[in-house]
């Protein structure tokens, strides 16, 4: 069963909040926020390991944000053509792949390769926020949509905060590549969306 409202039900208000959709959308944004913070808190360690200055990582950081902007700008068009649920899954998969790719390319010590990977990751990150909020509010009664929108959007700063609080401990326990490998958990959770 699709989580997209059918054409016949598009004008009918849901009678209750569909919590499964809300929770999964919140988790998508939580992971989005964590991934956004990951490179920022990894830069000092990477700079030391690569024997360069932290400013050398400006390009990967900027390209991550550029990818996010392109994702924001294209998500409405993609959602209208492919369906919001598919676009949300695609965005989560894309930034999950980007995180895993980052873990694989970090040992190469190449700013250029890391920049390309972060651009791709940013595209996925940018698609997720607007689509997750849109999908969640459409599965909620009109009187609850504002609260649902705020609650789901809080996933992003919650992920950023989680990254800030756990980043140092994660780097010490699993290393920088391990921090990006946390993206593997996205694959397990994605099946919940695919299962309907």
- Rounded distance between C-alpha atoms, residue 130 and residue 153, angstroms: 9
> What's the pLDDT score for residue 181?
76
Closest alpha carbon to 135 in 121, 164, 115, 155: 155
- Rounded distance between C-alpha atoms, residue 159 and residue 147, angstroms: 19
Average pLDDT, the chain: 84
Domain layout of the chain by residue ranges: 19-41+58-194
Rounded CA Rg of the chain: 17
Cβ atoms within 10 Å, residue 127? 29
185: which 2 tokens?
A: 């958990």
pLDDT tens-digit readout, 12-48: 666 667 788 889 889 888 988 888 888 888 999 999 9
Higher pLDDT, 2 or 100: 100
Which residues lie closer than 8 Å to 185 by C-beta, 6 or more apart? 31
CB 123, CB 97: distance < 8 Å: no
- Rounded distance between C-alpha atoms, residue 152 and residue 195, angstroms: 21
> What's the pLDDT score for residue 188?
47
pLDDT tens-digit readout, 117-142: 999 999 999 998 899 998 888 888 88
> What's the pLDDT score for residue 187?
45
- Domain 19-41+58-194, architecture per CATH: Up-down Bundle (1.20)
């Amino acid at each position: 069963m699709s989580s997209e409202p059918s054409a016949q039900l598009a004008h009918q208000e849901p009678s209750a909040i569909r919590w499964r959709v809300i929770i999964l959308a919140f988790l998508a944004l939580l992971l989005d926020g964590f991934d956004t913070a990951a490179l920022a808190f990894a830069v000092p360690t990477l700079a030391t390991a690569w024997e360069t200055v932290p400013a050398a990582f400006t390009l990967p950081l900027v390209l991550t944000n550029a990818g996010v902007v392109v994702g924001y700008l294209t998500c409405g068009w993609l959602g209208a053509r492919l369906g919001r649920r598919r676009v949300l899954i695609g965005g989560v998969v894309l930034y999950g792949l980007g995180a895993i790719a980052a873990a694989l390319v970090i040992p190469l010590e190449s700013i250029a390769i890391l920049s390309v990977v972060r651009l791709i990751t940013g595209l996925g990150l940018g698609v997720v926020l607007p689509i997750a909020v849109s999908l969640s509010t459409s599965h909620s009664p009109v009187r609850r949509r504002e609260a649902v929108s705020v609650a789901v959007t809080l996933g992003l700063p919650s992920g950023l905060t989680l990254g800030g609080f756990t980043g140092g401990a994660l780097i010490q326990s699993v290393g920088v590549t391990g921090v990006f490998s946390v993206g593997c958990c996205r694959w397990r959770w994605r099946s919940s969306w695919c299962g309907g």
